[in-house]
């Protein structure tokens, strides 16, 4: 069995008789569709901006929330702020999170964002390191990562591909930030978002992308000669620069 332990993930345990309705009124996805698998979702600000993203798993008497470790305390604090008098308790656990591709062990759950991300396993697991190049997978399929493409209180989830990544429901009831998200979905054409680009030269993540001297985006995750970039689609083209590197975009938008 080959898998990598995700040392940068923390699992929060949410218990209490109101846990389902509590989360349903807050997160971008439909918690009632959780079933036996994993659910990807985000918590937004009232202004519709991204705050946290996470994966959810149902247990008999709890919901497990798998989030980046450095975001876990702030997320737990935010959830506690919203719970008011609801019968809900939120606590951090030391449950291990394992990531793998290929044949999954019994009890593993597929990552709902994309099949290429493989499976996740929660608990103790006897495994040898898989040494999976997750940045290469994310770049290939334009999958954003917490704190890199997904920027706290700045990103909008539809520009980040959450519809394609099964992270938002447009059929559930209201949630925090829902009005802005719905308006972006139904009343506007996305003019900015993520795309895969090719790079000729060296450029670090976070480098501004320019065209004819004007800013048109930002370079994010880099893998080899390819990267995920956040672009202004109506201003981007095939002759862009990121520092001294040339950036080429073929016009493909992964989110249509």
Residue numbers of the domain that contains 92: 4-132
Q: What is the reported pLDDT for 237?
A: 86
pLDDT confidence of residue 200 = 95
For residue 60, being part of any structural domain is answered with yes
Residues 126 and 231 in one domain: no
pTM of the shown model: 0.95
> Which helix H or strand E contains 11, and what residues bound it?
strand 9-15
Say whether both 193 and 111 belong to one domain: no
Segment 56-78 mean pLDDT: 97
Domain at 103, CATH number: 3.30.70.1400
Does 109 share its domain with 203? no
153-162: average pLDDT: 97
Q: Is residue 173 part of a domain?
A: no
On whether residue 69 sits in a domain, the answer given is yes
Give the pLDDT confidence score for residue 128 in this predicted structure.
Answer: 87
Task: Please enumerate in sequence order all residues whose Cβ is within 8 A of that of 245, keeping only pairs 6 or more positions apart, or say none.
Answer: 199, 200, 201, 202, 203, 207
pLDDT band at 187 (very low <50, low <70, confident <90, very high): confident
Strand arrangement, sheet containing 97-100: 4-5, 97-100, 119-122, 109-110
pLDDT of residue 123: 96
For residues 134-144, one letter each, b for 16 or more C-beta atoms within 10 angstroms of the residue's C-beta and e for the rest, the string is: bbebbbebbbb
The total number of structural domains that make up the chain? 2
* pLDDT tens-digit series, residues 119-155: 999 999 988 888 889 999 999 999 999 999 999 999 9
Residue 105 falls inside a structural domain: yes
Tell whether the model's pLDDT for residue 104 goes beyond 90: yes
The pLDDT assigned to 88 comes to 97
The distance of Cα 55 from the centroid of its chain, to the nearest Å, equals 9
Residue 174 in domain: no
Question: Do 225 and 110 share a domain, yes or no?
Answer: no
Q: How far apart, in whole angstroms, are the C-alpha atoms of residue 28 and residue 147?
A: 18
Both tokens of residue 239?
């002759």
């Amino acid at each position: 069995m080959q898998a990598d332990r995700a040392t940068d993930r923390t699992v929060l345990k949410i218990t209490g008789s109101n846990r389902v309705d509590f989360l349903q009124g807050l997160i971008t996805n439909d918690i009632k569709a959780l079933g036996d698998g994993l659910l990807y979702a985000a918590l937004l600000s009232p202004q519709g901006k991204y705050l946290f993203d996470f994966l959810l798993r149902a247990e008999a008497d709890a919901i497990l929330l798998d989030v980046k470790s450095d975001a876990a305390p702030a997320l737990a604090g935010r959830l506690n702020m919203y719970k008011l008098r609801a019968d809900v308790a939120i606590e951090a656990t030391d449950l291990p999170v394992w990531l793998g591709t290929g044949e999954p062990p019994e009890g593993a759950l597929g990552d709902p964002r994309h099949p290429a991300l493989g499976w996740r396993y929660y608990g103790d697991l006897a495994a040898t390191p898989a040494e999976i190049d997750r940045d290469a997978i994310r770049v290939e399929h334009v999958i954003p990562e917490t704190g890199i493409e997904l920027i706290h209180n700045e990103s909008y989830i539809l520009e980040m591909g959450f519809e394609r990544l099964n992270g938002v429901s447009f059929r559930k009831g209201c949630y925090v930030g829902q009005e802005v998200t719905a308006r972006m979905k139904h009343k506007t054409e996305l003019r900015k978002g993520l795309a895969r680009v090719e790079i000729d030269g060296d450029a670090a993540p976070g480098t501004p992308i320019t065209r004819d001297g004007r800013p048109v985006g930002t370079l994010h995750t880099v893998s080899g000669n390819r990267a995920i970039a956040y672009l202004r689609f109506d201003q981007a083209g095939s002759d862009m620069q990121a520092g001294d590197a040339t950036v080429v975009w073929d016009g493909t938008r992964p989110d249509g």
